Structure 1
């Protein structure tokens, strides 16, 4: 098997930050270890050294070893190229279906799974633009502002995970999603003027989707049931639901019908006090025009 010997810049960890395996994620470790082992066996069966194979797929030798050892999560393009170079007949490329399920932290995957199963999502957010509404640059700026600071690799992984959750908007049967945001977060120029403008434009874009309702709670409004913090409500096709509130039930997820009714009452009151969807989009448009 021939290997391209041209001098090319091979990808390293600096080019693909945030793709480390979480050692506490047992399922993720098992999947990535299995894929790495299969990759190594096929490479050795093809008589290719790690360095030669790496050059053929555009990756550095060290990255190849780490992927084979189950210490790095392979990207889809890596698996596709590896499949072609090793003549795997699509088996390595198909491994992406399993890999993509574990590429994000366990807690994020669990949240994304719930959001993907829901037929209705209701969110009140008081301190920031909700993750389902954030642009990549806005999310990155928020993560980079944390103290103590996250390692840059972790920042990129968290940004990618947050963006992946937004795939619910592209589903064949997307859930009905309702957001209520306090006025202050959209006014905060997170990431600078350009990132701020892009975030406001994105709010308008998502807020105009047929399955999305966006409302803004004016700062001058009277006290409401959300002053204690964030509220989330997810309802599923079988009639069950799960909710969480920073200001009730110790902030833990709840499924008890009586407690869920309390959150629904609070959320309904918040919606009634917020600006209407039309007024809210007009507010964002006005704010965009002032930036």
Structure 2
């Protein structure tokens, strides 16, 4: 049997590796569930690997090579898939985000990364890494801004963000930085490229008091949820968890201001920052 060629790292190695996995699995007549069972992953996880929405780790690759008779192909090519400009805890989520058809996100204390400006992102990373070199900060900021190119497409992905009022009121980098980032969000809203709702302080207790939340949908793979903590992050695909997180986001939408009311509030706060006014 002719072995597939090793992948070109300059291509989309995750998608190509997934395609090879699907062909190899179907060739030997295994279901997704049967392939995943020995390594304790679900059939839906195998489907996400095949669709390119999840990264193939080395321990999985070795199993696939053995079961599917691939002569080490998957293990060799894990190196191409593993390369990322993002921190380890976020790399897989960023890769999934890049192929998502819809992203629904609740942001607690920060403007979401996809909506940040250069100056705002730099201030955030400076706070996270106070002893980092300028080069390190520049690399982090560049990677974050490159993610935002997802929004260059006029329609896909759908981005629906619920932003806590605290993110508007927390003065990151001073008034000019805050005015710029909020006007940037307003611009995207007015172009109807994103949907943004503000969860006001007056909403009181709400469904996501424990922290931020991100849900991602895909054309040909199950939905994913990404949860994170300082220097930690995890992609989840358990259907019960996805259903619970979807309900949480729906409740946040219901408790938040309408998009029109949110636009008015964000514009008002941006104007206040332009005049150098402080906020409670």
Question: Considering the TM-score relative to the shorter chain, is it more than 0.5?
Answer: yes
The whole-number CA distance in structure 1 between the counterparts of 2:198 and 2:155 is 26
Of residues 85, 94, 111, the one that matches 1:104 is 85
The answer on 1:272 being equivalent to 2:254 is yes
1:257 alignment partner, one of 234, 239, 242: 239
Change (3 A) 1:223 1:264: same
Q: Which TM-score applies when normalising by structure 1?
A: 0.61
Between the aligned partners of 1:232 and 1:223, the Cα distance in structure 2 is: 19
Q: RMSD of aligned C-alpha atoms?
A: 2.7
Which whole-Å CA distance do the structure 2 matches of 1:109 and 1:241 have between them? 17
* Aligned partner of residue 128 in structure 2, secondary structure: coil
1:219 aligned to 2:201? yes
- Alpha-carbon distance, 1:239 to partner: 4.8
Question: Does the aligned pair in 2 maintain the 1:118–1:234 contact within 8 Å?
Answer: yes
Q: Report the 3-state secondary structure (helix = DSSP H, G, I; strand = E; otherwise coil) of the residue aligned with 1:124.
A: strand
Cα displacement string for residues 144-183 of structure 1 (whole angstroms, at most 9, x for unaligned residues) = 1225532221110000000000011112652111001110
1:17-58 CA-to-partner distances (Å, cap 9, x unmatched) read xxxxxxxxxx99x87xxxxxxxxxxxxxxxxxxxxxxxxxxx
Question: Could you say what secondary structure the match of 2:219 adopts?
Answer: coil
Rounded to whole Å, the distance in 2 between the matches of 1:239 and 1:105 is 23
The DSSP-based 3-state class of the residue aligned with 2:235 is: coil
Q: 1:138 to 1:148 in 2, by over 3 A?
A: closer
- Extract unaligned runs of 5+ from structure 1: 1-26, 32-100
| Structure 1 counterpart of 2:58 | none
Paired position in structure 2 for 1:115: 97
* Alpha carbons of structure 1 residues 153 and 251: separation in structure 2 relative to 1, 3 Å: closer
TM-score, normalised to structure 2's length?
0.63
Which one has more relative contact order, counting CA pairs under 8 Å at least 6 apart? 2
Report the counterpart of residue 140 of structure 2 in structure 1. Answer: 158
Is 2:134 the partner of 1:134?
no
Which ranges of structure 2 fall in alignment gaps of 5 or more residues? Answer: 1-6, 11-81, 274-280
CA distance in structure 2 between the partners assigned to 1:175 and 1:221 by the alignment: 28
**Residues 261 and 234 of structure 1: CA distance in aligned 2, closer, same or farther (over 3 Å):** same
2:160 counterpart of 1:189: no
Deviates more, 1:125-134 or 1:106-115: 106-115
Are 2:225 and 1:243 aligned? yes
Q: How far, CA to CA, are the matches of 1:208 and 1:102 in structure 2?
A: 36
SS in 2 for 1:122: strand
Compare CA radii of gyration and give the structure with the larger one. Answer: 1
Q: Secondary structure at the match of 2:216?
A: strand
